[in-house]
Structure 1
Amino acid sequence: MKQNIHPQNHEVIFYDVNSGYKFLTHSTKTSSETMEWEDGKLYPVIKVEVSSDTHPFYTGRQKFNEKGGRVEQFKKRYNM
């Protein structure tokens, strides 16, 4: 087997921005943004819009908060 061809595994927090659900797992992705986990350590955080907590396949229902259309989101983001 060839050595040093596999990507590095890191412990990261995946954070669902829609529901606030977060879970700690291993991933080859990393981030410069960090968050403190329940054990008191800082881990890189990867923000996702859909996770098992909000996806209708896993929940059996739509769980997204009404965020509005693209224009409303833009105005909200830039205080217009």
Structure 2
Amino acid sequence: MKKDIHPDYHPVVFLDSTTGFKFLSGSTKHSSETIEWEDGNTYPVIRVEVTSDSHPFYTGRQKFTQADGRVDRFNKKYGLKDANAAK
């Protein structure tokens, strides 16, 4: 590998702004804000809006499009019938 072309990875705490969920990971991001982690060390904090703790796919609170979805509205507007609909 070539020297001095790869970024410097260092430990960073990512904090979910919505739920308060925190995890420690390596990153190239820098922050002036710090937090004390469970091991007693102080690490930079990066605030994020979505993590696996708050994302609907992982939490099971995912919204599914129902009868008033975009496809259904289009079909209603133009009189198309769903061939796969239960009879």
Query: Shorter-normalised TM-score: what interval?
Result: 0.7 to 0.9
- Counting aligned pairs with the same residue, the percent is 68
Computed over aligned residues only, the root mean square deviation of the Cα atoms, in angstroms, reads 1.0
1:42-53 superposed matches below 5 A: 42-53=42-53
Structure 2 gaps, min length 5: 63-87
**d(CA) in 2 for partners of 1:57, 1:30:** 28
SS at match of 2:57: helix
Counterpart in 2 of 1:15? Answer: 15
> How much has 1:57 moved relative to structure 2?
1.2
Counterpart in 2 of 1:68? Answer: none
Deviations 1:7-65 (A, max 9, x none): 00010000001001000010111211000000111000000111110001111116xxx
Counterpart in 2 of 1:32? Answer: 32
Decide which structure has the larger Cα Rg and report it. 2
**d(CA) in 2 for partners of 1:59, 1:7:** 33
Normalising by structure 1, report the TM-score: 0.73
Normalising by structure 2, report the TM-score: 0.68
The aligned length equals 62
Structure 1 gaps, min length 5: 63-80
SS at match of 1:57: helix
